[in-house]
Chain A
Amino acid sequence: MSANSVQVLANAGKGESTRTLLRVIILLLIAGAAIASRLFSVIRFESIIHEFDPWFNFRATRYLVAHGFYKFWDWFDDRTWHPLGRVTGGTLYPGLMVTSGAIYHALRALTIPVDIRNICVLLAPAFSGLTAYAAYLLTNEMTPSPSAGLLAAAFMGIAPGYISRSVAGSYDNEAIAIFLLVFTFYLWIKALKQGSMLWGALCALFYGYMVASWGGYAFITCLLPLHAFVLICMGRYSTRLYVSYTTWYALGTLASMQIPFVGFLPVKTSEHMPALGIFGFLQLLAFLDYVRSAIPSRQYQTFLWLFASGTFGLGLLVLVVATSAGVIAPWSGRFYSLWDTGYAKIHIPIIASVSEHQPTAWPAFFFDLNMLIWLFPAGVYLCFQQLADEHVFIVVYALFGSYFAGVMVRLMLTLTPVVCVAAAIAISNVLDTYLDARSPNPEDHQVDDVSDGTAKKAAKSGLKSTSKPVVGVYSTVSKSIVATAMTAYLLLFVLHCTWVTSNAYSSPSVVLASRLPDGSQHIIDDYREAYQWLRQNTREDAKIMSWWDYGYQIGGMADRPTLVDNNTWNNTHIATVGKAMSSREEVSYPIMRQHEVDYVLVVFGGLLGYSGDDINKFLWMVRIAEGIWPDEVKEREFFTPRGEYKVDADATETMKNSLMYKMSYYNYQSLFPPGQAQDRVRGVRLPDVGPTLNVLDEAFTSENWIIRIYKVKDLDNLGRDHASAAAFERGHKKKKANKKRVARLLRVD
């Protein structure tokens, strides 16, 4: 629609400044739409940080704002990974926190009293406006059509693939990283086109910012060398390429090494080797280029072959030796899982246990990109039509991005920008052709082929077969049909995006919403109820043991030390917690004592039918624990002989005796009339006699039972083990009553 109006006005022959003004207004509107469509959760719920990882980022940002940059840089956090702690300052990407901290201080300097939480919540939507602008710039480098850039900006603004990680409250690294990704690519294209050192340096600067913000920077680190390599293979080596690439690589690598978490990785790990290799290769090419200009071509041929094969062999040898000697780290596990999707499940269950690391299902592409996904190949095809250096980039990016998006759900995010750009090129091409109000006049056209800008563009960049029989479309009917169809598609796209955003991506997951019979919204706030209880009514250094999913939330909302959290840097520690959860009480208790655990927190959805609870995640705990203690924890024992995962009366003894099972169902049956205790998630009836807990006391259960907190008992005062002490307590009352009566009788006598 925006393209429509631009076209109309452009045809009306308005001046350049009007177009610029119009473009600025359209871009502002797109930015506004991008921001507005991300605010569903704020309007429905409140300004709240979503999910899990954002809670850590939020906590880190608060730390940064409260203690200053240097303290943040040196932050050793002893409130996570108890008793190990975490060198947080050196193991995070500080870009996000520093960005929000800078915004916070800037606003404070203007004496605008804004809460740091609100900055964090609204950072992602604000940056999505900038991303739309960056997409506009990138697309404008690809095609001279004025509408393509605006379309790309609009697509980028509302494509669900990007919204999924940038709704208000989704305060994660990706919030700013996608903007940096697109903008770095734009600067790279700019640098490459002009062979400009200034643009190359800017590109390196934003690359550095990107490295500081997101681990996905490796995508750029691999894509730019790949682009350069493809260009070289196509025989397109030029000094432009040399200048832009070497500038980017030298400055960018130095910039990336300033981040403590990255440090010397760029010269040590395999992921970064392509960039280094291409850097060296370009030096060789430049040298050869120089040699060629200096010596006769015949000798040059031989020289070239000898030199090239020698260098290649040498380089390969060095790489193999260095890798086997351990100087260069081999590919990391997460990286392997990019090539073999089954790798993680076998070797690193902790990576496989994260849903966003799963391979993408096909419908997800349509869900996240809607019509863009079928316009995407058309756009790529149009790039092939022109195939300048920058179009090669789009082609390479499209191939690379598609593969990774297919391997890992999360990487849909990196695919989205190129899909938006390619689709915008395709659509603008169609619109430019079909929205031209004038009927082409063959004679006219043959004479002044060059005169009209838009007509020529359409003819040149359009499909060759259609454009050849003279410049296209005569009939107003076909024009209007195609234009209407495209408009309808665009409108449907907007509808789809809004629907997806509203239904799939706007739930904070900390707060659940349900509807009351009268249609009003009822908020289920069990997480915060329990976290607030922990925060207010337990000792400040009370250690909480829970599955790692909730580590960041406990740290952020309950402000209590945790054993494991979403950082997952220490698999053994997580496996220890998994073992404690999946073993019998007598085995778990020493583990909990050794780790000074005061409270254990489990998530139980049985009463409410909340399916994301710990019993459903339980098998991952078992698997991860089994990875370290294969003799003590066996996944097989949690399945019935018929291979079913059951929690009712048929559950295996190992299952029934596991701490997790006991904590989830402890005292649960007393909420129901006898024989009617039901688990609404798994849809089964539970046995009448619930599990007994000897080493734990129930300390708090939230209103809808989603969170259950248990206190770890101290050692028994009389030196008994907990089982006999608890048995004594239970049997105590009867005995005591008997004794009393006897004693009284005796005394009377």
Chain B
Amino acid sequence: MKTTAVFSAVLSLLTLVSASSSSSTSSDKGTSRVKLSSTFKPPPAFKNANLVHVISVEKNYVKESINVVIENVDKAAQDEYFLPFTADQISRLGGVEVKDRKDASVRPFTVDVVEYDLASDTQYLRIRLPIPLKPKAQQTLGISYYLLKAYSPLPAAINQDEAQFLTYLFSAYCPSVYTTSKQKTEVKFPSANIPDYTKIPGSEDSKDTFPTKQGSKLTYGPFEEKPAGAYEPVQVRFEFTKPVIHVARLERDIEVSHWGGNVAFEERYELYHRGANLSQLFNRVKWAQSQYYNPTSYALRELKFPLRVGSADPYYTDAIGNVSTSRFRSNKREALLEIKPRYPVFGGWKYPFTIGWNSDAKNFLRKLAGGGYILNVPFLEGPKQAEGVEYEQVDVRVVLPEGAENVKFYTTIPDSSITEANVGVHKTFLDTIGRGVLVIKARNLVDDFRERELIVTYDYPFMASLRKPLIVFGSVMTVLVSAWLLGNVELKFNPSKK
């Protein structure tokens, strides 16, 4: 587990991001949106000296990374770099992370969505550099982000034993609001089976056309200088005979119990398959036969959850009760939960389900020297699939023991993905004042963030832990005493006394 040194390092960060703890009102964290006037246009203060755009369509979300050398061509020092997206893309964009490729210690880069004109199709992401870039100076940025719901299957409906092909549309030139001197775009595919892709002519003098294909990789470029806003639509169609898993909503509850020494997890998934629909309705005979002859299918058959070692008592249910098709392998090295949906999930089908498990509090909870507690749990623990999993909406709720106060949290999830965080009250299990519950809502995450941490600190006075036993004891005694008193009341007419 983590050493104390890590904790203390982390503690110093906690002050940076902390939810308003005492008040239970929603503390608006700004939701990473900046409002600007509706006539806003990014100033052409930068130039992209060299740009490599890597688009990875290996998983069922798109990971794009832009490695760019930016140069300040303005006269004053600049600290705001803008990245354009379409309005549609912005709603599906998540997990934006920016770092300096040359010097990792330069941070933090803050990323905001610019809000200026909701009707406009072009929206901007504003990256604020930690140190303003001086005129003529250069800096190498590594910008990476994810796009969800990025593909459309072509053909849109296929038979259940056919291979699935997806298409993705993008621009061969990296969209930018600045002039780009030199750039190329690389596309990485899950396999070398790429039947269709747009070919574009190369530079005016040379005769070769782009892209160049190399195994499961396509490369457009290098291109010469392109003006700001240059756009060259390119569509690729590639084989993806794997499920396109889309989790529309994940609700993740983490309940800490000091008395039980237990941390309970429960996750509710609203899972969709966004791949090709069935052109003919589901045929069980074919399905049973393909299980033997040709097991690759784009239907979702199994999900694997590598849980933290020490997890115990897992359960797997859905709206109508327990699902018996699951296996849990737990030993000193792993705790692997393998679940199967009740039916193979094909494109256009959905399958909501719930899983949960317990873990010893020792694995996650630690007492601090100052008397408070620190809880370190994974922010996300979804299934680990070869094809990847995307999450449109993630609601994490951390239910703390009754009486916990001064709640602060810190997470290594990109700040721009978190839309809301607040501390509310949740009453359960004979609570009188209710438990503090930290609710964090995040958007557009992918399973690459599985290992990211969520660290919560809180104070939990000793008297608060005695509250419930005392109240229960007191109320039971009250009931017994009042029953005894009532039993002593003589209700009958007593003729002998008359």
Minimum distance in angstroms from B155 CB to a CB of chain A: 19
Q: In the complex, are the beta carbons of B342 and A532 less than 8 A apart?
A: yes
The answer, yes or no, to whether A535 is at the interface (CB within 8 Å) is: yes
Does A537 make an interface contact (CB < 8 A)?
Answer: yes
Given contacts A535-B319, A699-B282, A711-B281, contact A525 B342 (CB under 8 A): yes
Binds A, one of B163-171, B197-205, B349-357: B349-357
Task: Give bound CA distance, A93 to B1, whole Å.
Answer: 58
Given A111-B429, A537-B350: A48 and B284 interface contact (C-beta under 8 Å): no
B429 touches A529 (CB 8 A): no
Let me know if B324 is at the binding interface, CB within 8 A: yes
Cβ 8 A contact of B351, one of A110, A525, A536, A670:
A536
- Cα A503 to Cα B347 in complex, Å, equals 42
Residues of chain B lying within 8 A (CB to CB) of residue A469? none
Smallest CB–CB gap between B184 and chain A, Å?
43
Given contacts A529-B342, A529-B343, A671-B288, is CB(A557)–CB(B320) below 8 Å? yes
Do residues A46 and B321 form an inter-chain contact, with CB atoms below 8 A?
A: yes
Closest A residue to B343 by CB, please name it: A533
Chain B 344-364 interface residues, beta-carbon cutoff 8 Å to A: 348-352
Interface size counted on chain B using CB atoms at 8 A: 27
CA distance A532 to B322 in the complex (A): 12
The reply on B285 being an interface residue by CB < 8 A is yes
A77 to B368, CA, bound (A): 57
A531 at the interface (CB under 8 A from B): yes
* Binary CB contact string for chain B from 317 to 346 against chain A (1 if under 8 A, 0 otherwise): 011111111000000000000000011000
- Does B367 lie at the interface of the complex (its beta carbon under 8 Å from any beta carbon of A)? no
Assuming the A-B contacts A700-B281, A700-B282, A700-B343, are A532 and B318 also in contact, with contact meaning beta carbons closer than 8 angstroms in the complex? Answer: yes
Q: Separation in Å of the A534 CB from the closest CB of chain B?
A: 10
Could you tell me the distance between the alpha carbons of A529 and B323 in the complex, rounded to whole angstroms? Answer: 9
A523 at the interface (CB under 8 A from B): yes
A664: chain B residues within 8 A (beta carbon): none
Residues of A504-547 whose CB lies within 8 A of B = 511, 523, 525, 528-529, 531-533, 535-537
Measured CA separation A536–B353 after assembly (Å)? 11
Q: For B324, list chain A residues within 8 Å (CB).
A: 511, 523, 525
Interface residues in B282-325 by Cβ distance below 8 A to A read: 282-285, 288, 318-325
User: Could you tell me which residues of chain A, from 699 to 721, have a CB within 8 Å of some CB in chain B?
Assistant: 699-703, 705, 711
Provide the bound-state CA to CA distance between A235 and B460, in Å: 77
In the complex, what's the smallest C-beta–C-beta distance from A608 to chain B, in angstroms? 13
Cα of A159 to Cα of B321 in the assembled complex, Å: 29
State how many angstroms separate the Cβ of B295 from the closest Cβ of chain A.
16
B118 sits at the interface (CB 8 A):
no
Q: Is the CB of A698 within 8 A of B429?
A: no
CB contact between A699 and one of B281, B320, B322 (< 8 Å): that residue: B281
Question: Measured between C-beta atoms, what is the minimum distance from B417 to chain A in Å?
Answer: 28
- Please name the residue on chain B nearest to A508 by beta carbon: B321
Chain B minimum-CB-distance residue to A701: B284
Give the complex CA separation of A529 and B324 in angstroms.
Answer: 11
Query: In the bound complex, how far is the Cα of B288 from the Cα of A701, in angstroms?
Result: 11
Does B428 reach chain A (CB closer than 8 Å)? yes
Q: Does A111 contact B427, Cβ atoms closer than 8 Å?
A: yes
B453 within 8 A of A: no
- CB pair B281–A532 under 8 Å, yes or no, is no
In Å, the complex CA distance between A110 and B432 comes to 9
- Given A111-B429, A111-B430, A112-B429, are A532 and B285 also a contact pair (CB < 8 Å)? no
Closest Cβ of chain B to A721, distance in Å, is: 21
Contacting residues, chain B, for A46 (C-beta < 8 A): 321-322
Is B431 at the interface (CB under 8 A from chain A)?
Answer: yes
Taking CB atoms, residues of chain A closer than 8 Å to B318 are 532
Question: Nearest CB to that of B282 among chain A residues?
Answer: A700
- Of the residues B349, B351, B352, B428, contact of A113 by C-beta under 8 Å: B428
Contact B282 A532 (CB under 8 A): no
Per the CB 8 Å criterion, the residue count for chain A at the interface is 34
A667 at interface, CB cutoff 8 A:
yes
Q: Which residue of A lies closest to B353 (CB)?
A: A532
Bound CA span A701–B349, Å = 15
CA distance A511 to B321 in the complex (A): 11
Q: Tell me which residues across on chain B come within 8 A of A113, comparing CB atoms.
A: 428-429
Contact indicator B430/A533 (Cβ below 8 Å): no
For the complex, give the distance between the alpha carbons of A112 and B431 in Å. Answer: 9
Cβ-closest chain B residue relative to A705: B284
Within the complex, what minimum Cβ distance (angstroms) separates B467 from chain A?
Answer: 13
Measured between beta carbons, the chain B residues less than 8 angstroms from A532 are 318-320, 342-343, 351
A2 to B186 alpha-carbon distance, docked (Å): 83
Of the candidates B285, B350, B352, B431, the one having the most CB atoms from chain A within 10 angstroms of its own CB is B285
Indicate if the CB atoms of B352 and A536 lie closer than 8 Å.
Answer: yes
Q: Is the CB of B323 within 8 A of A525?
A: yes
Q: How far is the CA of A226 from the CA of B342 in the complex (A)?
A: 55
Q: Is A289 an interface residue (CB 8 A)?
A: no
CA distance A698 to B280 in the complex (A): 9
Docked complex: A105-144 residues within 8 A CB-CB of B: 110-113, 117
Is A697 among interface residues, defined by CB-CB distance under 8 A? yes
CA distance A667 to B288 in the complex (A): 13
Q: Are B320 and A697 in contact, CB atoms less than 8 angstroms apart?
A: no
Contact of B281 among A112, A529, A698 (CB under 8 A): A698
Could you say which residues of chain A place their CB within 8 Å of the CB of B343?
529, 532-533, 700, 702-703
Residues of A within 8 A of B280 (CB): 697
Q: Which single residue of chain A is at the shortest CB-CB distance from B315?
A: A46
A492 to chain B, nearest CB (A): 35
- B321 CB to nearest chain A CB (Å): 5
Residues of A within 8 A of B322 (CB): 45-46, 48
Name A667's closest neighbour in chain B (CB-CB): B285
Inter-subunit contact B288/A528 (CB<8 Å)? no
Q: Which residues of B contact A112 (CB under 8 A)?
A: 428-430
In the complex, chain A residues whose CB is within 8 Å of the CB of B430: 110-112
**Chain A residue nearest in CB terms to B352:** A536
The answer to whether B428 and A111 have CB atoms under 8 Å apart is yes
Shortest beta-carbon distance from B327 to chain A in Å:
12
B348 surroundings in chain A (CB, below 8 A): 537
Q: Which of A511, A532, A556 has the most CB of B within 10 A?
A: A532
Q: How far, in whole Å, are A309 and B374 apart by their CA atoms in the complex?
A: 91
> Nearest Cβ distance between residue A331 and chain B, in whole angstroms?
40
Q: A671-B288, A698-B283 are in contact. Are A536 and B350 (CB under 8 A)?
A: yes
Q: Which of A137-183 contact B (CB under 8 A)?
A: none
- Minimal Cβ-Cβ distance residue in A for B271: A536
Chain B minimum-CB-distance residue to A668:
B285
Given contacts A111-B428, A536-B351, contact A528 B342 (CB under 8 A): yes
Q: How far is the CA of A529 from the CA of B281 in the complex (A)?
A: 16
Considering the chains assembled together, what is the distance between the CA atoms of A557 and B321 in angstroms?
9
Q: A111-B429, A113-B428, A533-B343 are in contact. Are A528 and B320 (CB under 8 A)?
A: yes
**Considering the chains assembled together, what is the distance between the CA atoms of A578 and B283 in angstroms?**
26
B323: min CB distance to chain A, Å: 7
Report chain B residues within 8 Å CB of A700. Answer: 281-282, 284, 343
A711 to B319, CA, bound (A): 23
A671 to B280, CA, bound (A): 18
Give chain A nearest CB distance to B13 CB in angstroms: 34
Q: Which residue of A lies closest to B320 (CB)?
A: A557
19 residue pairs of the A-B complex, CB under 8 angstroms, read A111-B429, A111-B430, A112-B428, A113-B428, A525-B323, A525-B342, A529-B342, A532-B351, A533-B342, A535-B319, A536-B350, A557-B320, A698-B282, A699-B281, A700-B281, A700-B284, A700-B343, A701-B282, A701-B283
Known contacts A698-B281, A703-B284, A705-B284; can you find 18 more A-B pairs with CB under 8 A?
Answer: A110-B430, A111-B429, A113-B429, A511-B324, A528-B342, A531-B320, A535-B319, A536-B351, A537-B348, A537-B349, A556-B320, A667-B285, A697-B280, A698-B282, A698-B283, A700-B281, A700-B282, A711-B281
Chain A interfacial positions (CB closer than 8 Å to B): 45-48, 110-113, 117, 511, 523, 525, 528-529, 531-533, 535-537, 556-557, 667, 670-671, 697-703, 705, 711
Going nearest first, the 5 A-B pairs with the smallest beta carbon separation are A701-B284, A523-B324, A46-B322, A529-B342, A557-B320
Which B residues fall within an 8 A CB radius of A?
280-285, 288, 318-325, 342-343, 348-352, 427-431
